[in-house]
Amino acid sequence: MRRLRRAATALAATALAASAAVAAGGAASAAPAAGSPTFAPYTDMSNGQEGLLDTAITQHGVKTFTAAFVIGAGCDAIWGDTLPVGGDSFTDPLIKKAQDEGASVIVSNGGAAGYPLGWTCTDENAIKAGYQKIIDSYGVNSLDFDIEGGAVADQTSATRNWTVMKELKAANPGLTVSATLPVLPSGLTQDGVNILKSAKSAGLKLDVVNAMTMDYYQGDQDMGQAAIKAGQATLAQMQSVDSSYSYANLGITPMIGTNDDGSTFTLADAATVKNWAASNGVGRLSLWSVNRDQACAGGSGGGASSTCSGVSQNQLAFTDALK
């Protein structure tokens, strides 16, 4: 997703050394395969509002969520708070609790504040080991790659990443892989299309291409219709790369409420997008983010925030609308 997430600061060796112990892996977490419509909202795992995830699971019926973000630090995979995968004393228990409550988890790599491991490390064996550690530490079978900023233009790293993921899919039956990419209402940028081409050149068909239908910086517009247009255009671009892609391989992820560009994705927009996605068999529907799915203190307004939507709403109303 875009700017509203914790900063991946201080990739300090001291922080890594202090958390060197690897926690026991979580319970097996089987995310639905591509083609089975899935609601998997993103949750920033360290912005102070993680309790909303527990409420979404236990009181609002969320069965799958996307944990954000694991980033690369050289050839080490760490959470954005700089603590290591499998050894994060804050994030690991949150994931384990969610799994114990019956939720499955997709682990997302990269984001606006960091790059996935395949971009920060050139040793394919080390990259493979890093991603395998995510799979083993949390018992997951679905990895997402949020590729934006400078990462989306780096086709060499993308091809390396997809080459590793093809090998990991062979070694981990049932593993699904998604690419989350910035879009305009007209669809993917050329860099985004090239990401799909790099996957194809590596022999990997992505299970889901997840369109970030947000922050277009094109002025005020109907954000529900813009998301639908972006989804339709993105699918056409996907099929231009590989004709076997279908709506089952498409994901849609709006930023709820006030976006960074000042546009507003409303609850009415959420209903519009959900109905369209359901009628077309869209494979994944998400939102950025569970942490924001509440009104801001003192009412709506005040611009975009990482901890509230900026619009008048009941807690987790967007989750209920898109679920």
Token readout for 135 is 């799979």
Could you give the count of Cα atoms lying within 13 Å of 262 in the half-sphere of its Cβ?
A: 4
Contact 13, 84 (CB under 8 A): no
pLDDT at 23 over 50: no
What pLDDT score does 301 carry? 63
For 71-129, the DSSP string reads: EEETTEEEETTSPBTT--TTHHHHHHHHHHTT-EEEEEEE-TT---HHHH---HHHHHH
Between the alpha carbon of residue 66 and those of residues 63, 105, 163, 289, the distances in Å are: 11, 6, 23, 9
* The pLDDT of residue 101 is above 80: yes
Across all residues in the chain, what is the average pLDDT? 90
- Give percent above pLDDT 90 in the chain: 84
**What pLDDT, on a 0 to 100 scale, did the predictor assign at position 298?**
77
Using one digit for the tens of pLDDT, what is the confidence trace for 163-221? 999 999 999 999 999 999 999 999 999 999 999 999 999 999 999 999 999 999 999 89
Query: What is the pLDDT, as a whole number, of residue 1?
Result: 75
pLDDT band at 300 (very low <50, low <70, confident <90, very high): low
How does pLDDT run across 136-167, given as a tens digit for each residue? Answer: 999 999 999 999 999 999 999 999 999 999 99
Q: How far apart are CA 235 and CA 243, in angstroms?
A: 10
Among 110, 100, 94, 111, which residue's Cα sits nearest to residue 45? 94
- Which stretch of 32-46, 54-68, 174-188, 286-300 has the lowest confidence by average pLDDT? 32-46
What's the number of CA atoms in the CB half-sphere (13 Å) around residue 260? 15
Point out the least confidently predicted range of 30-44, 104-118, 183-197: 30-44
**Helices 51-60 and 91-100 meet at what angle, rounded to 10?**
0
Residues 6+ apart with CB under 8 A from 234: 183, 187, 188, 209, 211, 250
In angstroms, rounded to a whole number, what is the distance separating the alpha carbons of residues 25 and 148? 29
pLDDT, residue 252, reads: 98
* pLDDT at site 5: 34
